[in-house]
Structure 1
Amino acid sequence: MPYSIRNSAGAPTLAQAIIDTIPEPFVVLDDQFRVLEATRAFYETFKVDPAQTLGRPLYALGGGEWDIPALRLLLETILPEQATMDDFEVAHDFPNLGRKILVLGARKVLSSDSSNATILLSFIDVTARRANEREKEELLKQTQELLRQKQVLLDEMEHRVANSLQMIASILLLKARAVTSEETRVHLRDAHQRVMSIAAVQKHLHASSGVREIEVSSYLSTLCSSLAASMVADSQPIAIKVEADEGTVDSANAVSIGLIVTELLINAIKYAFPTDKADARVLVKYEIKGPDWKLTVADNGVGKRAGEARSADSGLGTAIVSALAQQLDAKIEIASDTTGTSVSITRATFTSRLAPTT
């Protein structure tokens, strides 16, 4: 007669009452692995009949589907050595249930008034959880592969864009040398410089490929240094200085800001110093205050007198800067006199801490 957790009259004990409240599949076995008690969740989860369960060896339940090698290993080898075991995972195909992945917990309990050992065995069905984990892993792998393919395509596109810009710039330069009209030559050279400026911005942003935020100071310093190297002649040196607050800008806005700086810098180099000037200089300043910012490009060139228009003020460069500023939700302010010209692009209500100095 197997040991029972009920009293001699067959009435439920405290242990039996506790088992009846457990919501998870749970069984109590004697030292011969016969089922003494089981929770309702055990019967419902594994579709077994209480009358065909109580008093029978666990391995013999159903049609013998519980004779699981991993379960035998837990109960007959591991548990006698350790007396307790948690998170023991078992995968098994049940005839009426399909494949189940179970996490088992086992305790071996010796009663103080009996030499018989009792084994407490709990089951947690993690089949759905493991399936979700595998699905997430597969989705992660697919996402990583798609990102890799996207990066390959992006790199290829950037490479083709760079080559195309260089080709267009070369064609424009050849055309400028070939035409006889001076006005046409000037327009072609202007177009050439703007294509090269776009290429410069594209090159610097390509170095930060995959980065959503671009560090402003190093970005503008590198860009202005590159433009100065290609445009400032040795015969008329122009010092180009960059002052930028520490901070970052979204990579999408960095493109527009870079093009604005390029246009204003080209304009200053071309028109601010028609004659040699010993201390010719251009200051590029970028100030940040919260979400707002102010970009200023100021030179100490000839500027203009009241009522006088500089040749580039209504040209293509101004139209480009205006369009880019509008995209950035920023306003343009131009101050120009005989001491030089300052162009400011301001987002929202930014107020400079100090007036720009050249």
Structure 2
Amino acid sequence: MNLEDLYRLLRTSHVQAQGIVDTINEPLLVLDEKACVIDANRAFFATFLVERDDTIGTSLYSLGNGQWNIPRLRSLVSEIIPRSTAVVDYEVTHTFPAIGTRTFLLTARRLWKPDDNSTHVLLVFTDVTQRRAREHESSLLFSELRHRMRNLLGVIRAIANQTETTGKTAQDYKTVFMGRLEALMAAQSLMIAGSADIDLASLVTKVVGGLGADRLVQHGGPAVAIAQKQVIPLTMILHEFATNALKYGAFGERGGTVEISWQLSGGTSEPQTLLLSWQERCDRPIVKPTRQGTGTSIIENGAKLALQGSAQLTFDSQGLTARLRIPVASAHEHE
């Protein structure tokens, strides 16, 4: 083999080796024992938007605006050659001059040679910016889910504790508890399927219509968006109204109708208040209850404590008349 053939062979090998390196998508640098750049692949220049002449021969710690000049990283890289160590997934988040804020994982190892006496270091940069953003979003979603689950379990526990047991059979307890639980599930389904706010008319139809759709007269009112944090307590109140009407009032054996309407008070300069009216009109007179039941407590406490409003309940021979006053919460108010 003459010198020309040897040169051609070496040239071909070099081109192939460089082609392999340039095919790799991750940015690569080859450093000498002083951490100066002696080679870089095409991905490095494309990722960091730098020129070859500004990179080759420059210290790693002087590249860009000194983003790699980190004492801990310098220490780790300096130990690779003398101690045959490696740096694996060292994370750096930095605002780079041309590409903005990015997060990279740096892995550095001694460059392999057959005689095992290499003094060069191969440095690989893995861009994990989007991965970290997704992980952050997943963490936020998990935290929100955990928060909502804790609140939901708290509501279920409250329903179980508030469901009356004195003088009731197990079947009576189960019937009442399951009714309230199903109302809670209906609220949850609306919250999952809907947007940030839930339409009041849809909420009334779903909760009350299921127990007495043929006797419900929904006069309605202006469009009202119920914030998600208000959906569950308002649902439980409407369920207690409807359950009471089914047992003792217009949805039951006495016959009649239930009229529901609402309006908004307050203007643009002050918070709005929802005024919701529940009016039973029984065909046959009913007897006013002699004691306050659990359902009444749920209604009054729900309106006052959970909704920061009030509930006014009046019983007469035609049934229950209720007036709810509820501050309208905005969508950005969280639970």
State the TM-score, normalized to the length of structure 1.
0.47
Q: Which of the pair has more CA radius of gyration? A: 1
